[in-house]
Amino acid sequence: MELIGHMRKMSTRIVLFQQNAAHSLGVIHTDLKTADILNEKGPVTAGELAKLTGLTTGTVTALIDRLEQAGFVRREKDPHDGRRVIIVPVKENQKAIGALYKPLGNMTREVCEAYTPEQLDLINTFLSRMVGVFEQANSGVSGPKPDDRRCKNARSEKHEYE
């Protein structure tokens, strides 16, 4: 199988892992990945979060509500502008997420032990460049957004645990 085929297969397995991990935490895939983005970027406004995720502001508001209810984020007044609200990741509650990823991290380390430091540098460079490729590709598929009512109805039919 060629490289692109392996990457597609791995991508599918990553999505399935993320969906299962999110379900075990009582949230949906998008919520879990958004919590990751918040942990990576730090506190942001809902509007900034909408831009980072490519979701509509209405969808982001509902997503923040779910993450807040699950204990992964909290809303705080912006210390620089009291009219704005920022979304802050709750670091103390990230242990549940970390516990899900620990076995995956251990298995990944085992795989990496089979490679030389030079090979790992090459793999790391490749993966870093692929992150950029996916960021660029994501901006290219951010077309018109479906209206929030339709998304909410479709989502609630599929995810009874919301």
pTM for this prediction: 0.71
Residues 35/89, Cβ–Cβ less than 8 Å: yes
* pLDDT for the residue numbered 59: 92
* Closest alpha carbon to 22 in 149, 162, 125: 162
**Phi, psi of 76, deg, nearest 5:** -135, 150
Q: What is the residue-level pLDDT of the chain in tens, covering all 162 positions? A: 698 899 999 999 999 999 999 999 889 999 999 998 898 888 999 999 998 888 898 999 999 999 999 999 999 998 888 888 999 999 888 788 888 889 999 999 999 999 999 999 999 999 999 989 988 887 777 655 555 444 444 444 443 433
Query: Which two structure tokens, joined as six digits, stand for 26?
Result: 């009582």
Q: Which residues contact 27 (CB under 8 A, 6 or more apart)?
A: 35, 66, 67, 70, 72
Residue 9 CB-half CA count within 13 A: 6
The pLDDT value given to residue 154? 44
